[in-house]
Structure 1
Amino acid sequence: MQAYVNSYYAATRNKGADYPMLEEVIDCDVCVIGAGYTGLSSALFLAEAGYSVTVLEAAKVGFGASGRNGGQLVNSYSRDVDVIEQRYGDKSAQMLGSMIFEGANIIRQRIKQYDIQCDYRPGGIFAALNKKQLNGLAEQKSSWERHGNDQLRMLDAAEIGQEIGSKRYVGGLLDMSGGHIQPLNLALGEAAAITRLGGRIFEQSAATNIAYGEPNVISTARGRVRAKYLLIAGNAYLSQDLDPRVTRKSMPCGSQIVVTEPLSDKVVKQLITNNYCVEDSNYLLDYYRITGDNRLLYGGGVVYGAREPDDIEKMIVPKILKTFPQLKGVKIDYRWTGNFLLTMSRMPQFGRVEKNAYYMQGYSGHGVTCSHLAGKLISEMIRGDAERFDAFASLPHMPMLGGRTFQVPLTAMGAAYYSMRDRFGI
């Protein structure tokens, strides 16, 4: 039996249903493998449209990245619209650009419609550590405004100093269409909404075999699901053996988070005045925010190949003190790691493995909002409108350099190069 990791999110999760293990044979319209955001968003949109849906989860709802991430609603993709235009042309940039703010809007709509208690707070800051990064944020602002975001404001050094109690930043970009949440509680709330609409969720029910066909037959240790449509949504926690066509073009990577002891209202106001979430503009970025009970949640660093680092606190606390030296001596109450799925292009991978079987994965660090968009697109596609799903599916899915043997060291070498560029502002 796989339980939640010992995280702040697991300790503060809303009490709700534990879902049973699959021990029967089920016929349904759609089977979803994975009860993270991609699977939950897909299942919820489809259940709302009247489809019978079954979700299979190997561990617990939100067990993977969806219940371990930084809790930030960051718009766009891991590669922004300007890069998409350069790589894939105007048509792709226009289509994908039209969707870059939709994921966060879906989350806000879900929270309101289903009364999901997940400590939602609006507003996020992209913080610049040097002039080059600040110029890049100004370009991002112009690009995002062209695609309809009218909630952006540039911050100069004095203004960002009023928002964040750190001397590291030369300016930033405030996006009021961003925000932050308790991510596991969002997942649990979405799961509850699915079941209220008649969908079925099974935990501790890993898919062990897929027999593609009409119907698809998905086997678990003690049961089977026969489904007209299959959605594979396991991301970084999907077994590599289930279907190598889905797993071979991406790589799980780990990110680390710590959460401090509760802080006083005065200290919290000194750290982040208006309770926005923050991420810096480095290639290997730091991200942080204040939780609903006045703790500092701080994450950063990447471990390639999804290995557990030896000492998470040793990795992250120096980052905290570099940003907020006034927190010297602060006690760390929680520390954990979680895996996200990295692609070579840093763009999400949507596609078909068979006529009536699909996958959505590889958000490369931007999964909170994009996974919710993915659920809407797959529901549109199954209902007969494939245009927006195919805008992603048509992007080339490049294999990771060096295959499984060499992708970790090669990717780490590339990250080290960009980290050096961050350090020197070049």
Structure 2
Amino acid sequence: MANTPYPQSYYAASANPVPPRPALQGEVETDVCIIGAGYTGLSSALFLLENGFKVSIVEAAKVGFGASGRNGGQIVNSYSRDIDVIERTVGPKQAQLLGQMAFEGGRIIRERVAKYNIQCDLKDGGVFAALTSKQMGHLESQKRLWERFGHNQLELMDQKRIREVVACDSYIGGMLDMSGGHIHPLNLALGEAAAVESLGGIIYEQTPAVRIERGANPVVHTPQGKVRAKFIIVAGNAYLGNLVPELAAKSMPCGTQVITTEPLGEELARTLLPQDYCVEDCNYLLDYYRLTRDKRLIFGGGVVYGARDPANIEAIIRPKMLKAFPQLKNVKIDYAWTGNFLLTLSRLPQVGRIGDNIYYSQGCSGHGVTYTHLAGKVLAEALRGQAERFDAFAGLPHYPFPGGQMLRVPFSAIGAWYYSLRDRLGF
């Protein structure tokens, strides 16, 4: 059987030790079979196990192999489309419930880290950096919007203030969210997996789901075994493939690229980000960056529609890094990798149920670290018969990409080009 290792990322190179997890051999029975051992699957498993369910997870590669172990490591609140957009789409009642949940994911992460003593380099503080007066105006509106829903750990920053927290001359201001922050994302996933196992959950690695047999007692088939369950949670996101065709039609895998410098040393690192906050800018195709525990700079950005792997990641991202920090021109890049996230046309997550017993959550659209942890709680609630919050997400409208799967990549790229042009021109 093929063995799929982690990509050669900084996160894999600095991951905490983990026990071997064998592939599934033969047939097992469980209450809930979860497909995918990323944040959505692990969060769902923890909430279910804490409520007495028997849980098995099948993972095609390794825990956190996909976006959960490759992302920028930033704890960013709300969704890829904010609450005001949701309100215009679905009305005030549904938006109120979704707004109340918009800041819960970060709290869940911190609760998990504390409860299960997860070593993942958790740091508080995230900065949204404005490059134009229009973006600064958006942040002012966003602060008022978030405060409407009780989120008050926010500080607007003028040009002088933002230069106290990030040594980049490009920004005219920003907003600091002290409930934001950053983590080592793969170590968070590995810690959550250990917590799952401590509660009796079972994780099978190198065990792709190849077919779901639907019915009153659904079965997940794998290359060398099968899992019989009362419920299935589909949590493969951008790495699900065509396992569930009706989900693939309304989503598109996209790649984002990340580089990591050599260790910068304490002095240089502190000049770049004196308070060790993470940063993302406010462009449509945004850049994001932060420091690691060993004082490297992780810098990411860009989108490849259709999730192709670029030939030279450093050539794409290094110029972005040097535009922000020209003082790093002689610094070596030690790691460069790509990872996929799942984009929806609305840029809102897709949540729902197929039949009576197959549940799913996917399509975080690049905003998944916090949302996936919330999704796990919401899915677990639904399986326990408490569906109000699940229904709020399931009621969000979703549409196929124009032109179907054949044309979704070029159409999306044209749209992104348009918005990135607006960013550059300051519209």
TM-score between the two structures when normalised by the length of structure 2: 0.99
Secondary structure of the residue aligned to 2:396 is coil
Give a deviation string over 1:57-100, Cα, whole Å, max 9, x none. 00000000000000000000000011111111111210100001
Contact 1:25–1:223 (8 Å) recurs in 2: yes
**Matching residue of 1:192:** 194
Equivalent residue in structure 2 for 1:225, among 224, 227, 251:
227
Contact 1:234–1:361 (8 Å) recurs in 2: yes
Equivalent residue in structure 2 for 1:14, among 13, 16, 27:
16
Secondary structure of the residue aligned to 2:164 is helix
**Matching residue of 2:357:** 356
Please report how far the alpha carbon of residue 239 of structure 1 lies from its aligned counterpart in structure 2 after TM superposition: 2.0
Please report how far the alpha carbon of residue 202 of structure 1 lies from its aligned counterpart in structure 2 after TM superposition: 0.1
**Matching residue of 1:167:** 169
Secondary structure of the residue aligned to 2:49 is helix
TM-score between the two structures when normalised by the length of structure 1: 0.99
**Matching residue of 2:58:** 56
The 1-side partners of 2:315 and 2:18 are apart by: 34
The 2-side partners of 1:18 and 1:212 are apart by: 31
- Look up the equivalent residue of 2:150 and give its one-letter code: G
**Matching residue of 2:150:** 148
**Matching residue of 1:109:** 111
**Matching residue of 1:423:** 424
**Matching residue of 2:48:** 46
Contact 1:246–1:359 (8 Å) recurs in 2: no
Q: In angstroms, what is the RMSD of aligned CA positions?
A: 0.6
Give a deviation string over 1:33-79, Cα, whole Å, max 9, x none. 00000001001110111100000000000000000000000000000
**Matching residue of 1:390:** 391
Please report how far the alpha carbon of residue 144 of structure 1 lies from its aligned counterpart in structure 2 after TM superposition: 0.5
Secondary structure of the residue aligned to 1:384 is coil
* Pairing of 1:21-420 with structure 2 (within 5 A): 21-240=23-242, 242-420=243-421
Give a deviation string over 1:328-378, Cα, whole Å, max 9, x none. 111000000000000000000001112111110000001000000000001
The 2-side partners of 1:18 and 1:112 are apart by: 25
Please report how far the alpha carbon of residue 214 of structure 1 lies from its aligned counterpart in structure 2 after TM superposition: 2.1
Give a deviation string over 1:5-28, Cα, whole Å, max 9, x none. 000000000001121100021111
The 2-side partners of 1:197 and 1:295 are apart by: 35
Secondary structure of the residue aligned to 1:98 is helix
The 1-side partners of 2:403 and 2:182 are apart by: 36
More displaced 10-residue stretch of structure 1: 91-100 or 336-345: 91-100
The 2-side partners of 1:185 and 1:213 are apart by: 36
Moved over 3 A (4+): none
Please report how far the alpha carbon of residue 117 of structure 1 lies from its aligned counterpart in structure 2 after TM superposition: 0.1
- Look up the equivalent residue of 1:122 and give its one-letter code: D
The 1-side partners of 2:333 and 2:341 are apart by: 23
Give a deviation string over 1:290-334, Cα, whole Å, max 9, x none. 001100000000000000011100000000110001111110000
Q: Percent identity?
A: 60
Please report how far the alpha carbon of residue 265 of structure 1 lies from its aligned counterpart in structure 2 after TM superposition: 1.0
Listed as ranges, the gaps of 5+ residues in structure 1 are: none
The 1-side partners of 2:160 and 2:402 are apart by: 43
The 2-side partners of 1:285 and 1:183 are apart by: 19
Give a deviation string over 1:126-154, Cα, whole Å, max 9, x none. 00001000000000001111111111000
